[in-house]
Amino acid sequence: MSRAKLDPRSMEDWQIAAASEAHMKTVYQLGEEMGVEQRELLPYGHFVAKLDFIRILERLKDRPRGKYVEVTAITPTPLGEGKSTSTMGLVQGLGRLGKRAMGTIRQPSGGPTFNIKGSAAGGGLSQCVPLSEFSLGLTGDIDSINNAHNLSMVALTSRLQHESNYGDKTLSEKKLRRLNIDPRNLATGWTIDFSAQALREIIVGIGSKMDGFMLRSGFQITVSSEVMSILAVATSLRDLRERMGRIVVAFDKSGKPITTQDLEVDGAMTALMYRAINPNLMQTLEGQPVLVHAGPFANISIGQSSIVADLLGLKLSDYLVTESGFGADIGFEKFWNLKCRMSGLAPNCSVIVATVRALKMHGGGPSVVPGKPLDPVYTQSRPDLVEKGVSNLFAHVETVKKSLVHPVICLNHFPGDSMEEIAVVRSAAQAMGVPISISTHWADGGDGARELAEMVIDACSRPSKFRMLYEDDLSIKDKISRIASEVYGAAGVSYTAHAENRLASLQADEGLNRLGVCMVKTHLSLSHDPSLKGRPRDWVLPVRDVLVYHGAGLIVPVAGDIKLMPGTASDPAFRRIDVDVDTGKVTGLF
């Protein structure tokens, strides 16, 4: 089937992706078009490869960087608003205008892929392909992260067992020093890349003393691991290796941190990760290159594709389009104050994706529940709800403007959007002084994103400054307060006694005080409460815990009731995923 005959209104995303496979470029074609030498290309089959970023960056060190475009969004419904679709559409739109464009996106987690949200490859005629490889493990990076993280837990729990079973003389003979690990004060647990709520709280070591040290533990989803954050922020293999040794896995009985270096497992963890640091090369449906690398969520982690992929993409393209997780309150904020601070890069433009559907929800529309049919209000023309909901769009535009980055609004057009509803959004954008494109890339691919691409090119051509929300030497509490008030719109911040104690110990360490703040917060509201839509006022952000990711270089305040292990819903996507045994093709992915 030719691309011209593909109709997203009558086909599922996986059907479009499968029908497009005959038109995909091989990685050798992509590499040649990008200017990548054959020895720098590390193929995983015909249509996926890793890129040897060290060789490429060294060879292209004198080449100027392209324009840097970030894609964010308004506060989404639980169904998502097509940010990945818009990213792919924009790359394709830039390609239609003759620009050498490239995308950088995150690898999907098995949690959402087999649960509700899907694989985040885009949709309609704006996707990253091949879809099956993208969605089902790719080149094994997440497996490497999972293994590296769990190896640190093997090292920790085995040391606990040996220290409890053997005397100091025996430990000395084995060249092990006593670490005096406090089994009631572990810093992390185990990881698995599924939404497995039954594993949040577990007891390990049940049995005899030969079956391990019995203690309370639990699992978190792999993409929330500090190892994943390290992959996202590391700038070289040396940097990755050094960060691995700084991961804190537990505390001793005097409260001193115990690291992977103390357990002498950091080298082996890096060995499990040495291939994963190379970005993965894929493509859009229209044949532009896409680098897929790292996969942290933005509500519980840094929410960005890797710095390495961006550094590479900016050398290989005229326009690099990178996507941040969820809305601008968490995705763009972390791109702005964490990723750009660590990479030294400054964006030329930020695209804020909005939908009429989400604006209706923020204007008082009924709840949007995954797995259940949309309320009829979302298929009817209700410009009154859209008008009330644009307050949420205003908030995200103001956040981007505070960085002094030029914003562009992309209204991701759904077939049922009425002209009256679109007119309300246009009017709101005009009032904000921000260009807006009603983009039809889902239905029309690159052709539907031409106007959006033209607006992005114009924004990138204008001179801009870039400033951080806070300076490095601001106190941790002041950083949290600034994010809460200036980005979320909170009236203040409250802390549990536990969080206050954690902060007091952190403030005493000047080195820790200079780390970036990576908030853990719901993505379904500007506030900590997912039920508060629109632009909530006069609320207080409750911080219940403060974690420290020494290796990633992050202070992680946890706000509200949010967990590092999501749960699987009653109607998960895995019910519809299968394999056609005659063709060997995977079906049912979205």
Q: Residues with catalytic annotation?
A: 83, 85, 106, 117, 298, 326, 414, 442
Name the one residue in this structure whose structure tokens are 């206050």.
500
**Tokens describing residue 537:** 């006022």
> Rounded to whole angstroms, how far apart are CA atoms 94 and 79?
27
Q: Which long-range contacts (CB under 8 A, 24 or more apart) does 429-438 make?
A: 432/393, 432/394, 432/397, 434/352, 434/397, 434/407, 434/408, 434/409, 435/408, 435/409, 435/459, 436/408, 436/409, 436/410, 436/411, 437/408, 437/409, 437/410, 437/411, 438/411, 438/413
CA atoms within 13 A on the CB side of 31: 22
CA dihedral 74, 75, 78, 84 (to 10 degrees): 30
Nearest residue to 351 via CA among 456, 460, 465, 266:
456
Q: Are 487 and 521 in contact (CB under 8 A)?
A: no
Helix (H) or strand (E) holding 516: strand 516-517
State how far Cα 57 lies from the chain centre.
Answer: 24
> Rounded to whole angstroms, how far apart are CA atoms 102 and 128?
11
3-state secondary structure of 74: coil
**Tokens describing residue 174:** 């084995």
- ∠ CA(521), CA(308), CA(250), 5° rounding? 50
What pairing do the DSSP bridges indicate for beta strands 280-284 and 289-292?
antiparallel
